[in-house]
Structure 1
């Protein structure tokens, strides 16, 4: 019964609301605020696999791309204007996500890899959040930053939506066969992977 109610509610959600939510959350995250942009993008991409909802996966990807480009550009402008003071404020405001260790690690990556850190940083949570402010603080030329930022955003958003579309269709068939057992297994696997990734990152930040 709950599944029926959920499906009914999802059908009533206008696609425009989904697109705007993706763009806004990804955009704010890209400015430097730790919001779950990738989770929202994946959720919207999963909704796009559901027939009858009218959500276009291409528009979902475009919304995330636009949000990422605009948000990173705003973050770049703020970083260029306020410099290290902005990074310090972000660290104090969000110590669990952007403490001194996280910021120093991201800065080292930027110093070593430059424009590539912007392009591929979109796929790494801490770099996705700090790319704009860090690039501005380090006085990276804006045309270079914009080109790398836009390319990374297209690859990240388009690749994520495409992967979810493919895996979502497979997972939907799988869930129909194995019911809630498969869902529990999928959640457990996700938790294990998340803990392992976090365990690998924590030692690096703890040394700072």
Structure 2
């Protein structure tokens, strides 16, 4: 019998109980190219199930990792195939001129690896990071490497914590998310500073 899931994870019990590994793979996969799906939440729920012996923790990790990498690569293809044309056609309406987009491409080319890795832990960026990488023309092999690193860290962290914490994972998760806001804010300030420095340097160039 499946163990009851704590707090905010409870609504995933029917999905996870009925489809098991398929649910983990499908939800993580579709979330990673922009579909609003509870990818991180289902990882936690699957970890709790694994800790109770309902699922195998290694299988959960491998399936979630593969789904995360594949999903982000779908996002990358979407951005690569249609993103640039979309930006050039409609970007002017939101002040994203071709010149500014070129600056964004150059910035992402220099620092995109760090962004792709960290984006996995940030709600919103996790879903869009592959599309952004494709749109800005980041080299696919470079994206693949950093994306795989981010996926491994993300899957490893949440499945392991849920596996060990069991029914206390809701409290642990809330505490981590509380401090994660400070980390994300610090990272955002760092990225903003790098962007400003990059723009200033370009303006100084003849």
TM over 0.5: yes
CA distance in 2, matches of 1:21, 1:84: 33
CA distance in 1, matches of 2:145, 2:174: 33
1:61-99 Cα distance to aligned partner (Å, 9 max, x none)? 111101111101111001001115778xxxxxxxxxxxx
Task: Say whether 1:190 aligns with 2:157.
Answer: no
What RMSD in Å do the two structures reach over aligned CA positions?
3.8
SS at match of 1:31: coil
- What is residue 78 of structure 2 aligned with on the other side? 78
SS at match of 1:114: helix
- What is residue 21 of structure 2 aligned with on the other side? 19
Runs of 4+ in 1 over 4 A off after TM superposition: 84-87, 107-112
SS at match of 2:51: coil
CA distance in 1, matches of 2:165, 2:49: 13
Structure 2: tracts of 5 or more residues without a match:
5-9, 88-103, 189-206
CA distance in 1, matches of 2:134, 2:181: 28
- What is residue 31 of structure 2 aligned with on the other side? 29
Q: TM-score, normalised by structure 1?
A: 0.63
- What is residue 147 of structure 1 aligned with on the other side? 145
Q: TM-score, normalised by structure 2?
A: 0.63
Equivalent pair of 1:78/1:86 in contact (CA under 8 Å) = no
Equivalent pair of 1:121/1:128 in contact (CA under 8 Å) = yes
In the comparison of the two structures, how many residue pairs are matched?
A: 161
